[in-house]
Chain A
Amino acid sequence: MKFIAIVVGLFLSTVAQAWEPTKPIKVIIPSSPGSIHDTGFRSFQEDFESATGAKLVFEYRSGSAGIIATNHFMTLEPDDHTLIATTSISHVMGEVTNPELVTYDFLNDFEYITGVIASSIVIAVSTESEINTREEFFNWLKTTDTPITFSTTFPNQIVATNLILDALGVDEDKAIFVKYSKSVPAATDVASGKVDVWVGGVPPTVPLYQAEKLKYIAVLSKEELDILPGIPTIHEVIPNVIQVSTVGVLTHKGTSPEVLAWYRKHINNALLGEGAVNLRTNRFVILNQDALTEQGLRDAYSGNRKLLEPGYREIFPPKK
């Protein structure tokens, strides 16, 4: 009897863990084709599909920094075959910037699967600039009489810059934020010297750095990037300034642990494939191992929210 119970128990446990997708897996991308979300998933798509036999089908729902896509995701029936790509910047800040439009609670309405890629914010200037080091940059901020122009494409960059200025005791009015909707003209204007400082993601600056049009001053990750040797962190001097945007994979709340475990295993394996490694190497993105867990991803998102919310409240005061 005991033997039969053990055999039945083993059989049932095997069946319970043996989840496999039965149809194509839909991935909601909250931006347009070619974006960092899209490219990030494309980088491991082939390895993932070869290993699992499951097809990834991408549905693009760009707009409103991910609010449209996430609202749409919330209307879909949980079916174990629908995922959404989000970032720790836009996804979590929707509740702060447009609370009247958001239909979700980023912490409680999702199951966090894993992080896919992460990109540090970086400070760069034109190669024609006289600023060469982090210390010279800080000194310049403190001593110059003329306002300094910063190119930005997203509010988190403004918040990060203001945190640096606050820490240095520099009047925030000294910073003039030149806002762009696209990163290419923003980076080009810094490279040509029309705007003084780039505060933004690493990927758009890589080719300009290689063309010797831009030089890096500092990174806003917690540690130095292996692929940018010698470029110091801001965190080293100003501990509360860390700005890393993590792209994560989420799914519906209530998805079973077996399904989540399946996705974690196969996505993390695929992220070690050639395509994903090439992307990380060539676009200077880091993959924090901690983010490759549910808790790590959740912490990354919560940490960003905690750091950025006060600054966002200044930029987006609650509507009356």
Chain B
Amino acid sequence: MVENLLLGFETATLGYNLLYLLIGCVLGTIVGVIPGLGPSTTISLLLPATFALGPISGLIMLAGVYYGSQYGGSTTAILLNTPGESSAVMTCIDGHQMAKQGRAGTAIMTSAISSFIAGVIMVILMSLISPPLADLAFKFGPAEYTMLMLFAFIGVTVLTEDDLRKGLSTAFLGILLGCVGIDINSGIDRFTFDIPDLLDGIGFVTVAVGVIAFSEILKNLDQGTEGAISDGEVSIVPTWAELKRLIPAALRGTGVGGFLGLLPGGGLATASYAAYVFDKKVSKHKDEFGKGAIEGVAAPEAANNAGAQAGFIPLMSLGLPESMAMALMLGAMMVAGIVPGPMVIENHPDLFWGLVVSILIGNVILLVLNYPLIKIWVQLLKVPYNVLYPLILVCCFIGVYGVNTNINDLFLVAFFAGLGYIFYILNLQPVTFILGFILGPMLEDNFRRALTISQGDFSIFVGSNVCLIILTLIIVFIGAGVYNIFNNNTT
């Protein structure tokens, strides 16, 4: 183990590898900041360059872009309530509230510190137990994912602050819109109105940017916001009291995000959402969630970075890419003559250990990089809003258009902007809508797939240890909720 890590350090600290790592981290941060512009596009643009660099340097750079984008995605989420990445949606909730309270710098620094903690822990796990962790992917099939999604839906009750009916209503609306497109099981198109662009469903970026980012602009315009979001002094470094709250939340987020990041069907957005909900449930400061709780930033940010780095475990150990960005990196390795899988550690130890150590160094670089950048980013809060929002609009439109280079996506995002504004007028939460949009199709797909495999036998949902564990957790959570309601009513 020590020899391997030394080999990794020797590889990763070569001058040119450090340079490419720095380039990747910086590019990833920039890409993460711009709403809608994900790491996949950047990685695909950089692919030709990686062929010239060689597989190790190329992969180090691409990996830097990937997890660097997770650092950057939280910046606009915090400052402008505009998620730069899908995994930063949950950060909007408390992060932006912190910005409004003059704590934008603290929020961004919280995000950086949490991501760093998650990154270090995941590197240690990658070094020690990569193959057994990768095998976790085989424990989860359609039945297990169904139970996991059901468990995740319980989170709607946690996220809904006042009226559960409102939370459920928006969640079900999200589920409904998530059904748009061709149903994989029957081949029938649903709610597409014979529009070809809807056959593959509505893109997540379109929904998130419309419902959260654009509706935030409409809301501010409605309120007549013209001045800066925050004029006063901006704190940057968390206080000791804040650190004492931040670190445990980051550790919990790392656990949740790291676990979900290992699963091919997990997804970073799901990881950050699950971490937020879990932390809200267990935190001693649950009343502060939604109003600027530091845990509300620390947990999802740790989760999305842990999830991003956990994705390298099945990629390198089994050649299973869990996202488009990973698939691109897999393709780059194949073209370079490297086949990811169990033999990669044996046949290409410099590649594997060099990557592991470069992730550790990359997290340090990103933490150090973010500190001076915070002082620049927070200046955005001092820009008069009537100057700022057109810039946000332009960036968001570019990001949305860049996903499919399809002009119709811009009309769709306008529709969702309107929907988000309606949510604001009716005091509904857009986050539960987005949850329904993400989780609904995943739940339906896996549920129907599980029943196809079992030929209609529902016992498949209690047929494995994993299912039973999740079912137990569901019962415990529901039981705790019922108990709380009963307790509140009697007192």
Contact = CB atoms under 8 A, between A and B. Distances in A.
Interface of A: 32-35, 38-39, 42-43, 45-46, 49, 58-64, 67-68, 71, 98, 100-101, 147, 149, 155, 176-182, 184-185, 187-189, 191-192, 194-195, 206-208, 210-213, 274-276, 278-279, 281-283, 315-316
Contact of A192 (B40, B138, B265): B138
Nearest to B322: A184
Interface in B319-370: 319-322, 324-328, 330-332, 334-343
Given A34-B44, A176-B455, 8 more contacts: A33-B327, A34-B324, A34-B328, A39-B335, A61-B406, A64-B200, A98-B199, A275-B335
A46 B51 CA distance: 8
Nearest to A212: B342
Contact of A34 (B196, B320, B321): B321
Contacts of A155: 187
Interface string B406-429: 100000000000000000000000
Contact of A207 (B40, B319, B324, B327): B319
B297 interface: no
A37 to B, nearest CB: 11
Given A61-B405, A188-B320, A211-B341, A34 B453 contact: no
Is chain B's interface secondary structure helix, strand, loop, or mixed overall? Answer: helix
Contact of A211 (B338, B342, B405): B342
B335 to A, nearest CB: 5
Interface string B180-198: 0010110100000010110
Given A34-B328, A184-B322, A275-B51, A315 B187 contact: yes
B319 A71 contact: no
A185 B266 CA distance: 11
Contact of A38 (B44, B337, B339, B343): B44
Contacts of A195: 453
12 contacts: A34-B324, A63-B200, A68-B197, A149-B452, A179-B185, A181-B445, A188-B138, A208-B318, A275-B335, A278-B334, A278-B335, A278-B336
A68 B51 CA distance: 30
A33 B319 contact: no
Interface of B: 40-41, 43-44, 47-48, 51-52, 137-139, 141-142, 182, 184-185, 187, 194, 196-197, 199-200, 264-265, 317-322, 324-328, 330-332, 334-343, 404-406, 445, 449, 452-453, 455
Contact of B264 (A58, A61, A62, A188): A188
Contacts of A182: 264
Q: Which of A39, A61, A213 has the most CB of B within 10 A?
A: A39
A275 to B, nearest CB: 5
A33 B196 contact: no
The 8 A-B pairs of least Cβ separation, nearest first, read: A207-B319, A34-B327, A39-B331, A33-B44, A194-B141, A192-B138, A207-B341, A210-B341
Contacts of B319: 206-208, 210-211
A38 B405 CA distance: 16
Contacts of A62: 200, 404
B198 to A, nearest CB: 9
Contacts of A283: 334
A11 B476 CA distance: 86
Contacts of A178: 142, 449, 452-453
Contacts of B331: 34, 38-39, 42, 279
A43 B335 contact: yes
Contacts of B48: 42, 45-46, 49
A189 B142 contact: yes
Contacts of A274: 337
Contact of A33 (B324, B337, B338): B324
A178 B445 CA distance: 11
A184 B187 contact: no
Contacts of B318: 207-208, 211, 213
A208 to B, nearest CB: 7
A194 B142 contact: yes
A191 B138 contact: yes
B352 to A, nearest CB: 14
Nearest to A176: B452
A192 B339 contact: no
A210 B340 CA distance: 9
Contacts of B326: 34
Q: Which of B197, B341, B406 has the most CB of A within 10 A?
A: B341
A159 to B, nearest CB: 13
A207 B196 CA distance: 35
Contacts of B405: 59-61
B404 A63 contact: yes
Nearest to B338: A282
Contacts of B445: 181
Contacts of A194: 141-142, 453
Contacts of A68: 196-197, 199, 406
Q: Which of B139, B331, B338 has the most CB of A within 10 A?
A: B331
B339 A185 contact: no
B322 to A, nearest CB: 7
Nearest to B139: A192
Contact of A71 (B52, B196, B330, B453): B196
Contacts of A42: 47-48, 51, 331-332, 335
Contacts of A184: 264, 320-322
Contacts of A188: 137-138, 141, 264, 320
Contacts of A278: 334-337
A207 B335 contact: no
Contacts of B199: 63-64, 67-68, 98, 101
A184 B137 CA distance: 11
A176 B449 CA distance: 11
Nearest to A211: B342
Nearest to B183: A179
Contacts of B327: 33-35
A32 B265 CA distance: 18
A138 B40 CA distance: 42
Contact of A149 (B185, B335, B453): B453
B334 A279 contact: yes
A46 B196 contact: no
A185 B318 CA distance: 12
B324 A192 contact: no
